[in-house]
Amino acid sequence: MKVLVLNSGSSSIKYQLFDMRDESVLAAGSVEQIGEKGSHLSHSQRTPLSGMEKTIRNLPISDHRQGFQLISSILRETGVLTDPGELKGIGHRVVHGGEKFKEPARVTPEVLAAIRALIPLAPLHNPANLLGIEVAMESAPTVPQVAVFDTAFHQSLPAHAYRYAIPKKLYKAHQIRRYGFHGTSHCYVAKKAAEFLGRPLGSLNLISLHLGNGASAAAIQQGKCIDTSMGLTPLEGLIMGTRCGDLDPAIIFYLERETGLSSGEIETILNKESGLKGICGANDMRTVGELAADGDPEAQLAISMYCYRIKKYIGAYYAVLGPLDALIFTGGIGEHASFIREGCCAGLAHLGLELEQEKNRGLRDGGAALESRDSRVKILAIPTNEELEIAEQTIACLEK
């Protein structure tokens, strides 16, 4: 039973082909720089020895339609998918589902229209996601298509958590509320934490930290998300690679008055030139860590600010959850940066969170428990797999 997962961006299409009988990856890759100089296809597929063999093809790729045709072609050529009819379905990542989509949806004309109507809430992402769905439907018209929304996992937030203190008429007219993102990642690692702990997800209270170039926190009570750090857009919340996270909104008006910058220019600064990059000039946490280790004071400040913001969210979510069973680190930084996990947990022994330094620094790939013997709360590092979660949700949606 094969499922193809597609993540269509403005100039790229990422894909993974799964055999859902054992959840193995048969092939994966991406079409990059669509419509630009240097466009190429990067493809990896499983070999008989269970390794992945990589192929790169540099060629002009004018649009997403040609990109999807290249993906279909190389899957066919390499024998991993000789006919689209072998697919149980195609799962698509869609960034914003608004208030309408609380779970994955089989793609219909009505669903496409709803995704299109949500473009004002995600102007950089939903158009590309929508284009990917439309191209896939044209290219594989007999294959069921499923839209899986980044925001859906957070639709269980209560009104007191998702509403902003602005006039109700603005909320109603423009759908201004907290939506949250990274939902597929938070959902996946929460389920994996339950498996790791050998307990039903519905019995657990968890704080999940998805830390990558984008970063967000989620408070999960008995399997349901009750709060999350990202808001109307992915700009709110934690400090990120290039995003500022939480900010006094009056700063925007102040910058407009004092600098003459337009709102669009300020939006670009807050999304693309702030965060770690704005503090120390680098947005890759590996580089920031190296600079800090060499004594760079701005890099050291960036790490301190990054961890401090996370610790404040841990404390806030602990307060609303009540008893806490586990703190989860995931994402590229959460899984691999031991100094960030250490900084986030430092000084939290009074909350029952104590990291075992040897376990933390010795962690390699794979999930692990990192808490000390005296810790009352489990501290877990769990690799995320958003593509597999999309594949699983695709199957669940089609089998309903």
Residues annotated as catalytic (active site), given as ranges: 150
Query: Can you give 140-175 as a three-state secondary structure string?
Result: CCCCCEEEEECCHHHHHCCHHHHCCCCCHHHHHHHC
In SS3 terms, the chain reads as CEEEEEEECCCCEEEEEEECCCCEEEEEEEEECCCCCCCEEEEEEECCCCCEEEEEEECCCCCHHHHHHHHHHHHHHCCCCCCHHHEEEEEEEECCCCCCCCCCEECCHHHHHHHHHCHHHCCCCHHHHHHHHHHHHHHCCCCCEEEEECCHHHHHCCHHHHCCCCCHHHHHHHCCCCCCCCHHHHHHHHHHHHHHHCCCHHHCEEEEEEECCCEEEEEEECCEEEEECCCCCCCCCCCCCCCCCCCCCHHHHHHHHHHCCCHHHHHHHHHHCCHHHHHHCCCCHHHHHHHHHCCCHHHHHHHHHHHHHHHHHHHHHHHHHCCCCEEEEEHHHHHHCHHHHHHHHCCCHHHCCCECHHHHHHCCCCCEECECCCCCCEEEECCCCHHHHHHHHHHHHHCC
Tokens describing residue 45 = 């597929």
Spatial CB neighbours of 55, under 8 Å, sequence gap ≥ 6? 41, 42, 43, 44, 74
* 8 A C-beta contact, residue 380 and residue 396: no
CA 255 to the chain's CA centroid: 30
Residue type, 17: L
